[in-house]
């Protein structure tokens, strides 16, 4: 998709509010008070968001600008812009919308997959969302309605990973299909499209994406051996593993 140009006319919908937000952020750098902390937090999360987006490319989960990443800061959703290579993004390219989708920060057009991101934030407690076109996961999405239980890490996503029925990218129909597949889950596959996962931060959302791609690669590898079929876990085995995973890691 072509890189979106910056609109400098000042007449776009929400333009006055965007100018106010930019002015407030600029002023926050000069005046002490709560605005300084809010601006610093937003800038920090934007930096982490861009780093995560670049990581999806470096790790082979997307090609070019085909994926997108977002993070929620209060009622503000920071999101990668449409069609802009991630290695070109700078602090000045910060792009944000409110939960209704109205752009309130920046002048670059938000990702075309904004309906999916907003649907996740409106219906879950997600703080970050990662969408990719990971090759193994996308391949699996064309073969089965649900990823077979080939590994217990499916428990980290809430259970068997479903495939959302196909719909045109960027459409409300796709967002609705995705929500159905995400019910009780923190990730799903999008038929003939890719993956979407969410978490309580960018690191968790990204890790869930990477784990999902790995499980898809594992199943494709195991199921490709002639004359053999991979052993699969039972729902009870997955539930037991999922309970253990909830207590995994260091206590804070």
Q: Is the pLDDT of residue 83 over 90?
A: yes
Is 108 in contact with 118 (CB distance < 8 Å)? no
| Catalytic residue set | 113
Please, which pLDDT band fits residue 3 given cuts at 50, 70 and 90?
A: very low
pLDDT in tens, 85-109: 999 999 999 999 999 999 999 999 9
User: What are the backbone angles phi and psi of residue 151, rounded to the nearest 5°?
Assistant: -155, 150
Q: Is the pLDDT of residue 2 over 80?
A: no
Looking at residue 40, what is its pLDDT? Answer: 84
Cα–Cα distances in Å, from 215 out to 160, 186, 203, 220?
A: 11, 15, 18, 9
b/e burial code for range 220-247 (CB count within 10 A of at least 16 → b) = bebeeeeeeebeebeeeebeebbeeeee
Query: Cβ neighbours of residue 133 under 8 Å, at least 6 residues apart?
Result: 61, 62, 63, 66, 67, 193, 194, 195
Cα–Cα distances in Å, from 82 out to 39, 109, 189?
A: 23, 6, 21
pLDDT in tens, 136-147: 999 999 999 999
DSSP H or E stretch at residue 86: none
Looking at residue 123, what is its pLDDT? Answer: 98
Q: Is the pLDDT of residue 8 over 80?
A: no
User: What are the backbone angles phi and psi of residue 161, rounded to the nearest 5°?
Assistant: -85, 120
User: What are the backbone angles phi and psi of residue 187, rounded to the nearest 5°?
Assistant: -165, 155
Please, which pLDDT band fits residue 245 given cuts at 50, 70 and 90?
A: confident
User: What are the backbone angles phi and psi of residue 46, rounded to the nearest 5°?
Assistant: -60, -45
The rounded radius of gyration (Å) of the Cα atoms in the chain is: 19
């Amino acid at each position: 998709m072509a890189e979106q140009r910056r609109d400098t006319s000042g007449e776009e919908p929400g333009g006055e509010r965007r100018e106010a937000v930019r002015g407030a952020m600029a002023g926050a750098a000069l005046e002490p008070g709560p605005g300084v902390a809010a601006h610093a937090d937003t800038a920090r999360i934007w930096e982490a968001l861009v780093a995560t987006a670049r990581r999806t490319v470096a790790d082979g989960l997307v090609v070019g600008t085909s994926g997108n990443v977002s993070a929620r800061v209060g009622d503000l959703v920071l999101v990668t812009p449409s069609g802009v290579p991630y290695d070109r993004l700078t602090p000045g390219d910060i792009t944000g919308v409110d939960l209704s989708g109205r752009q309130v920060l920046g002048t670059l057009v938000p990702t075309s997959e904004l309906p999916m991101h907003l649907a996740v934030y409106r219906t879950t407690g997600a703080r970050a969302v990662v969408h990719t076109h990971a090759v193994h996961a996308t391949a699996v999405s064309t073969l089965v309605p649900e990823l077979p239980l080939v590994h217990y890490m499916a428990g980290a996503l809430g259970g068997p990973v479903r495939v959302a029925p196909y719909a045109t990218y960027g459409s409300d129909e796709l967002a609705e299909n995705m929500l159905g597949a995400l019910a009780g889950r923190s990730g799903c596959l999008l038929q003939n499209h890719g993956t979407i996962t969410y978490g309580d931060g960018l690191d968790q959302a990204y890790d869930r994406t990477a784990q999902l791609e790995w499980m898809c690669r594992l199943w494709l590898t195991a199921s490709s051996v002639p004359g053999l079929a991979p052993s699969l876990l039972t729902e009870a085995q997955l539930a037991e593993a999922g309970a253990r995973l909830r207590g995994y890691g260091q206590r804070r």
